[in-house]
Structure 1
Amino acid sequence: MFQRNKAMTITATLLLGGALLSACTKGEDTGAPTDGGSAGAQVVASASAGGAGCTLQSYGGTKIELKDAIVGFSQSEKEANPFRIAETQSIKDEAAKIGVKKLLVTNAQSQLSKQVSDIQDMLAQGAQFLIIAPLNSDGLEPALKAAADKKVPVLTIDRKVNATACKDYVAFLGSNFVEQGKRAADAMVKATGGKGKVAILLGSSGNNVTTDRTSGFVDQIKATAPGIEIVAQQTGEFARDKGQQVTEQLLLSNPGITAVYAENDEMALGAVTAIKGAGKKPGVDIKIVSIDGTRNAVEAITKGEINAVIESNPRFGPLAFATAQKFLGGESIPANVIISDREYDSANAAASLSSAY
């Protein structure tokens, strides 16, 4: 696996157990998972942030110790998805590990209005630092304003918000979703030999994850695989049942489909069921590449039903609290803090199954 160099980008390795950011260049990705017991996340200060980053002084917050603080975590979606389960547990585990005074945890149940009110309620309960997993890129403005008015720092994780870093929130922690799409495209080229007709199962609309994973994949296919034709794009809403339903429809309307790119594992697993129902072999007759890294999807690779999975690492606890500690201690935090993602295929799936979530 590799990560492409980006001009005018400042990179560093965030040592979760250390006290500083050591400068480095962006290069070979070892593929090691970034979990509660390992370092390996990358910090990327984008050119738009000017490399200066955000400090407690520029944000206007108050210096506090996390062990003396009330921290709020706002989860966006129902925890029927393995990613959300792992994400929430990682936050809880790390808060307990470092001895946060009190952790408030809410779940918006996939309702934007509830997430706004959840965040406002946590502020009313005295939250001094917020970690938010946004439901959508837009719509959280009232909650962000309420936090800003109280000078409560906010870290957003896994999805970006359309707002201004170091003003409306401190920083975004998450994957490089465009890069995930590009890596999925590379895996698709490998699985198909660079030829075929691909259907894309899009994630839910209204967030940057879907947009970026789509553009990364489409652009990379166009640039590297002229023999691959993208014949359909339809939302499966990041859900297994919807992914199955959409795949069934696509196979009827486009019987020549030879591959499916699913923007998360749940939709990919739904596609597996649909392909079997159509009397074809998933992973053989119709290649499948997806993004997430759930245990069920990695296990499907070992069965030959999915060809490759690009991980989207949900283990934000260590990274989120390490970033919070640095920020509250007066250190500069870049606008985008990128967590490292590994990759699974037939060569490593069996040996790596225990690393999946």
Structure 2
Amino acid sequence: MKHWMRRAAALTLALGLTATASAKDTLALVVSTLNNPFFVTLKEGAEQKAAELGYDLIVLDSQNDPARELANIEDLTVRQVKAIMLNPTDSDAASNAARMVNRAGIPLLTLDRGVTRGDVASHIASDNVAGGKLAGDFITEQLGQGAKVLQLEGVAGTSAARERGEGFAQAVAANQLQLMASQPADFDRTKGLNVAENLLAGNGDVQAIFAQNDEMALGALQAVRGAGKSVLIVGFDGTDDGIAAVKRGLLGATVAQQPELIGRLGVEMAAKILAGEAVEAYQPVPLKLITK
């Protein structure tokens, strides 16, 4: 952290910058995918805060492809943007992108998902472990200890998937839930449908499904309806579609993140770094459980 503070302070002194951005100040946001409402909302929050603070903001979509992500980062280092906010496609694979940013001497911030290796000035994200446990505890409240559950996991290798799974595992152990199967569906609605169909076929007496994001939860909902079953489904993220499904009684609950706030805080932390101000290494964003 001190490394970034010294670098930012020196930059501020050399260019005569203040906390208010100059017309030439450009920040960048590299998003894992914009084919997901959560990340679209995150992007919109970043755009709003950048406009408020007078920064230009470049947004690049990695389309869930680590190779494209690395190419996006390389492009931004050539453009010499002031700071880069990265929402990784894969926490392990993104380490190469992080190191590239570090070598370019550009402050790096991570949003929602972290990177396994690399020098990160600040990580802005929800407490995914707490959220996963919140989902498991809710299932227990509704169905009692020992309930039979399935889990749809996110993209393997992402910190969000690992942490949400870790929190859910804590709830499974504490509440003696029977985890019948757990399988990745890559945070994708269509994959969530297909994986849930397969899991339902082999686990006919399942009582609940925890999906590590709302897109997979909505896919699971289609699968459950198609199978003619009554299964409690809990999602994660609190997207507009997810919340609407909860309010209609289609999903049992969603663990709501605040993607707009994550995006806004990312820009705010970047601005503070460039102004030579101290920032926290981890900036937690509150979660809440949304039920009908």
CA shift, 1:207, in A, is: 0.9
Pick from 314, 317, 334 the counterpart of residue 259 of structure 2: 314
Q: Which amino acid aligns with 2:211?
A: A
Given that residues 55 and 331 in structure 1 are in contact (C-alpha distance below 8 angstroms), is that contact kept between their aligned partners in structure 2? no
Q: Which amino acid aligns with 2:145?
A: G
Q: Does 1:339 find its partner at 2:290?
A: no
Q: Distance in 2 between matches of 1:61 and 1:338?
A: 28
TM-score (norm 2): 0.91
Gaps of 5+ in 2: none
Pick from 246, 266, 271 the counterpart of residue 220 of structure 2: 271
Q: Does 1:96 find its partner at 2:44?
A: no
Q: Does 1:76 find its partner at 2:32?
A: yes
Pick from 140, 150, 155 the counterpart of residue 189 of structure 1: 140
Q: Which amino acid aligns with 1:159?
A: R
Q: Distance in 2 between matches of 1:233 and 1:249?
A: 12
Secondary structure of the residue aligned to 1:343 is strand
Give the equivalent residue in structure 2 for 1:216.
167
User: CA offsets per residue over residues 159-211 of structure 1, 9 Å max, x none?
Assistant: 010124xxx22121111111111111111112213342000011110111111
Gap change, CA 1:199 and 1:150, over 3 Å in 2: same
Q: Which amino acid aligns with 2:259?
A: P
Q: Which amino acid aligns with 1:238?
A: F
Gap change, CA 1:58 and 1:152, over 3 Å in 2: closer
**How does 1:3-42 map onto structure 2 within 5 Å?**
none
Q: Distance in 2 between matches of 1:299 and 1:80?
A: 19
Q: Distance in 2 between matches of 1:270 and 1:157?
A: 25
Given that residues 31 and 59 in structure 2 are in contact (C-alpha distance below 8 angstroms), is that contact kept between their aligned partners in structure 1? yes
Gap change, CA 1:327 and 1:249, over 3 Å in 2: same
Q: Percent identity?
A: 29
Gap change, CA 1:186 and 1:53, over 3 Å in 2: farther
CA shift, 1:301, in A, is: 1.4
Secondary structure of the residue aligned to 2:163 is helix
Q: Does 1:160 find its partner at 2:114?
A: yes
Give the equivalent residue in structure 1 for 2:41.
86
CA shift, 1:146, in A, is: 2.9
Pick from 240, 243, 252 the counterpart of residue 189 of structure 2: 240
Given that residues 59 and 170 in structure 1 are in contact (C-alpha distance below 8 angstroms), is that contact kept between their aligned partners in structure 2? no
Q: Distance in 2 between matches of 1:59 and 1:162?
A: 24
Query: Over aligned residue pairs, what C-alpha RMSD do you find?
Result: 1.9
**Mean Cα displacement is larger for which, 301-310 or 152-161?**
301-310
Gap change, CA 1:310 and 1:54, over 3 Å in 2: farther
Q: Distance in 2 between matches of 1:238 and 1:94?
A: 27
Give the equivalent residue in structure 2 for 1:105.
59
